[in-house]
Structure 1
Amino acid sequence: MKRFSLNQATTRHWPMPDLVAGCVRAGVTGVGLWRENVQEYGVERSAALVRDAGLTVTSLCRGGFFQEPTWWDENRRAIDEAAALGAGTLVLVSGGLPPGSRDIDAARAHVGTAIGTLVPYALEAGVRLAIEPLHPMFSSDRCVVSTLKQALDLAAPYPHRAVGVAIDTYHLWWDDTVWEQIARAGREQRIACFQVADWLTPLPAGVLLGRGLPGTGCVELRRFREAVDAAGYAGPIEVEVFAEDVWSRPGDEVLAEALAGYRDHVAGPG
């Protein structure tokens, strides 16, 4: 249970001070933060708040969206914010196709080149870039990187301490090669972030919001945890859920259910 981290997305409407206070009450020591929430409260204020509470920022979401013309400046800002928060990992969602383009291969190649240009800046800041593959249904507009293999191939030219991958069960549970790729990620020392959420059936109208708290869907969450453990990853495990019905509930209630689901379906014995 010491590895549990609450990703801020799970309690989206919990203001920053309430999030921190709720984690302290529950004995949670890790939080994954989101840039818009941090910017709203203030980067330096957020950093001081979590630091004074004794919390570790396990990741900052998100950089990426490399199809945007402002990607260079925006990602440098994201790295700066991660460094200010003491977050060792910046999660990258690569972005979709450029406007008017159908060339997904070129878009994916651009992601790799763009990440390479950020590597020196990230190394200097002490922030590791984590390429996150998203489910293929998001390829056109959110993320042209759909599999763990693609993410690892993009990371391969760069030092593992600079570029790793984010493994998210919601996005990867469907892939029958994921176990082989998790083992590869371990051999190459690329696992930078591990996030868990369940897949709900049927999906809601807004597919992006179709995540469930651990144990509410069909994903073999414990199998993923055992696989990343076997690959040598011993870091934080973030519960990251996007769901309107979860967001509408009190933050303390959601955190309690997230902890229970994590204990029973992620951390506990089969």
Structure 2
Amino acid sequence: MQEPLRDLSRLSLNQMTTKPWSVREAVEGCVQAGIPYIGLWRDKVEATGLQESARIVQDAGLRVSSLCRGGWFCAGSERERQERLDDNRRAIEEAATLGTDTLVLVCGPAADRNLPAARAYVEESIATLLPYAQEYGVRLGIEPLHPMYAGDRSVIVTLGQANGFVRRLAHPNVGVVIDAYHVWWDPELEREIEAARGHILGFHVCDWLVPTPDMLNGRGMMGDGVIELRRLRQLVEAAVYRGPIEVEIFNEALWQMPGAQILSLMSERYLSCV
């Protein structure tokens, strides 16, 4: 009997899944594992050097699915707010240099307890950045985070909120990034994925472990948790997303494994569960 086709053509390694690896190590690992895409993180790129990182990826024949992260807009003073906008402009430039058209925005927590004001400022900041992003050919992907992160990571906690931003901004260079870990619980998810039709800029997968061992670094490998990942992929594809599928797993135990073993397991679970 003929073996089933091993189609990894849309698979992307998000660098956080192999956190101990440098850009070069992650790229070499992807080449050896037959993974065509990589999602880069700015701190890893900075450690290697922007131009060197771009060269390593290009020479290996990989494609960069996204750069993470921009955002983190709110701050307590006007000077800090301006510094964060300037940093986002640098992130846009970095994305263009690395050859990706998608900068993932983790929008950041409120600077005080005023959530409505924080959300309004996030929208204002994205509007400010959009002409610059368009100039560089980069799209800003608003990634809603799970509500448990509202206090320390993002005031944008539902796909509905992110879609609302995209509708009001009405600009071709803004869209949403759908991460299974952050949205799987949402009773409005099917409707909101359909509402995101045409402006889904990224799709990230992992799994939700029960019990969750750690709020930040407790994500699971696909198939080890409770998320119906294949159905989620079907919903995203029905909303005309055909781009890379990034595996992004924050997990302390996983990071203790050899990187090649992580990529082998990741590829097998991608094929069987996603």
- Name which of 80, 84, 89 aligns with 1:71: 84
What stretches of structure 1 move > 2 A for 4+ residues in a row? 157-161
Q: Superposition pairs for residues 58-97 of structure 1, below 5 Å?
A: 58-68=65-75, 69=80, 70-97=83-110
Q: Distance in 2 between matches of 1:167 and 1:6?
A: 16
Q: Secondary structure at the match of 1:31?
A: strand
What residue is the counterpart of 2:201 in the other structure?
Answer: 192
Is contact 1:122-1:128 (8 Å) kept?
yes
Q: Secondary structure at the match of 2:216?
A: helix
Q: Superposition pairs for residues 191-270 of structure 1, below 5 Å?
A: 191-204=200-213, 206-266=214-274
What residue is the counterpart of 1:17 in the other structure?
Answer: 24
Q: Distance in 1 between matches of 2:221 and 2:55?
A: 29
Q: Superposition pairs for residues 81-230 of structure 1, below 5 Å?
A: 81-98=94-111, 101-186=112-197, 189-204=198-213, 206-230=214-238
What residue is the counterpart of 2:14 in the other structure?
Answer: 7
Q: Secondary structure at the match of 2:211?
A: coil
Is contact 1:63-1:91 (8 Å) kept?
yes
What residue is the counterpart of 1:34 in the other structure?
Answer: 41
Question: What is the RMSD of the two structures over their aligned residues, measured on CA atoms?
Answer: 0.9
Query: Residue deviations 1:238-270, cap 9 Å, x none?
Result: 00000000111111000111111110000xxxx
Amino acid at match of 1:154: F
Once the 2 structures are TM-superposed, how far is the Cα of residue 158 of structure 1 from its aligned partner? 2.8
Q: Distance in 1 between matches of 2:24 and 2:124?
A: 38
Q: Distance in 2 between matches of 1:221 and 1:168?
A: 11
Unaligned runs of 5+ in 2: 1-7
Q: Distance in 1 between matches of 2:121 and 2:143?
A: 15
Query: Residue deviations 1:88-120, cap 9 Å, x none?
Result: 10000000010xx21111101110000000000
Same amino acid, percent of matched pairs = 51
TM-score, normalised to structure 1, is 0.95
Q: Distance in 2 between matches of 1:259 and 1:226?
A: 19
Once the 2 structures are TM-superposed, how far is the Cα of residue 161 of structure 1 from its aligned partner? 2.5
Q: Distance in 2 between matches of 1:67 and 1:139?
A: 13
Is contact 1:160-1:190 (8 Å) kept?
no
Q: Secondary structure at the match of 1:109?
A: helix
Once the 2 structures are TM-superposed, how far is the Cα of residue 159 of structure 1 from its aligned partner? 4.1
Query: Residue deviations 1:117-161, cap 9 Å, x none?
Result: 000000000000000000001101110000001001112233453
Q: Secondary structure at the match of 1:17?
A: helix
